[in-house]
């Protein structure tokens, strides 16, 4: 089947996509964030709506144009992400967690700017909720797709995340390889399926990778509907 003529195989499927970084405030002028560009998540949202899905995109701050024909919810912190996702989860068929949420946040947000004359601040961090693992615990019939940007390609770690978060599929990439992850327009990923299959995909544009991920999503969703 030609890539550019996939039919509306996701008609009626309610897909919630998370994308981009999160931002955790230290004080009114300083934040903790990461270099996620949102490109993979936005490519997924765009491809899903083209294939007939009802798409909600929960996005951290990114500099990408909004996707037409979808609901866009903007968030900043990992707690905001959890709130937005939990609110819609019961009306979702597929959650695709492409966001890069911060695992930690400063224990307190200073209400005034930290001044140099106070010396170097000692920032205490506390854990953020794991949005995807929380949804994994709460899922009824939802399909869950996770992402893992790693600095090594460790299959055991991929399997651990797949099981711990109760995912149907984990999209794994090694961001230290050239043309992979974060700001890049291309990606090179390995798909780990819950039932044990592993698919290594050739390096391709994020748009093409999005289509392949949605092929797998469509197959899972159609199987579940029967
Ligand atoms: N994720 C999430 N909430 C978090 C952290 C991660 O929902 N607080 C999701 C990501 O969107 C991604 C998946 O979990 O789909 C895996 O993220 P990753 O950072 O690779 O895994 P962690 O469990 O956070 O483990 P670590 O960062 O220690 O590798
Ligand atoms: Ca993490």
Distance (angstroms) between ligand 2 centre and the Cα of 52 equals 31
Q: Alpha-carbon distance 136 to 6, whole Å?
A: 30
Atom 21 in ligand 1: which residue has the minimum CA distance? 148
Ligand 1 atom having least distance to the Cα of 99: 11
pLDDT computed for residue 152 by the predictor: 85
Distance (angstroms) between ligand 1 centre and the Cα of 154 equals 15
Q: In which element (H, E) is residue 138 found?
A: helix 131-138
pTM comes to 0.96
pLDDT computed for residue 4 by the predictor: 47
**Which DSSP symbol is given to 156?**
H
Q: Are 14 and 54 in contact (CB under 8 A)?
A: yes
Distance (angstroms) between ligand 1 centre and the Cα of 29 equals 26
Which ligand places an atom closest to the C-alpha of 132?
A: 1
pLDDT computed for residue 80 by the predictor: 98
pLDDT computed for residue 179 by the predictor: 86
Ligand 1 atom having least distance to the Cα of 135: 7
Token output for 223:
């199987």
Which ligand places an atom closest to the C-alpha of 148?
A: 1
pLDDT computed for residue 183 by the predictor: 87
pLDDT computed for residue 199 by the predictor: 97
pLDDT computed for residue 55 by the predictor: 98
Grouping H, G, I as helix, E, B as strand and the rest as coil, residue 41 is helix
Distance (angstroms) between ligand 2 centre and the Cα of 74 equals 20
Token output for 54:
């009802």
Question: 168 phi and psi, to 5 degrees?
Answer: -90, -30
**Cα–chain center distance at 167:** 13
Positions of the chain with pLDDT under 50: 1-2, 4-5
Residue 130 beta carbon below 6 angstroms from any ligand 1 atom: yes
Q: Alpha-carbon distance 199 to 126, whole Å?
A: 36
Atom 23 in ligand 1: which residue has the minimum CA distance? 161
pLDDT computed for residue 3 by the predictor: 52
Residue 84 beta carbon below 6 angstroms from any ligand 1 atom: no
pLDDT computed for residue 1 by the predictor: 45
pLDDT computed for residue 181 by the predictor: 77
* Residue 207 is among the residues annotated as catalytic for this protein: no
Ligand 1 atom having least distance to the Cα of 146: 15
pLDDT computed for residue 56 by the predictor: 98
């Amino acid at each position: 089947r030609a890539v550019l003529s996939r039919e509306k195989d996701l008609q009626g499927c309610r897909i919630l996509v998370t994308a981009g970084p999160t931002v955790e405030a230290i004080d009114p002028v300083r934040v903790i964030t990461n270099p996620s560009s949102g490109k993979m998540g936005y490519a997924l949202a765009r491809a899903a709506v083209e294939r007939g899905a009802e798409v909600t995109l929960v996005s951290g701050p990114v500099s990408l144009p909004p996707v037409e024909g979808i609901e866009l919810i903007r968030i900043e912190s990992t707690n905001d992400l959890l709130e937005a996702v939990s609110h819609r989860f019961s009306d979702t068929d597929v959650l695709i967690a492409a966001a890069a949420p911060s695992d930690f946040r400063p224990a307190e947000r200073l209400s005034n700017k930290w001044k140099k004359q106070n010396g170097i601040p000692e920032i205490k961090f506390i854990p953020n909720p794991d949005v995807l693992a929380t949804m994994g615990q709460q899922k009824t019939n939802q399909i869950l797709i996770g992402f893992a940007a790693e600095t090594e390609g460790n299959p055991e770690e991929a399997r651990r995340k797949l099981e711990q978060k109760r995912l149907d599929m984990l999209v794994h990439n090694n961001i230290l390889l050239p043309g992979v992850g974060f700001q890049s327009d291309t990606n090179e990923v390995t798909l780990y399926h819950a039932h044990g299959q592993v698919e290594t995909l050739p390096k391709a544009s994020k748009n093409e990778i999005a289509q392949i991920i949605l092929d797998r999503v469509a197959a899972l969703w159609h199987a579940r509907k029967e």
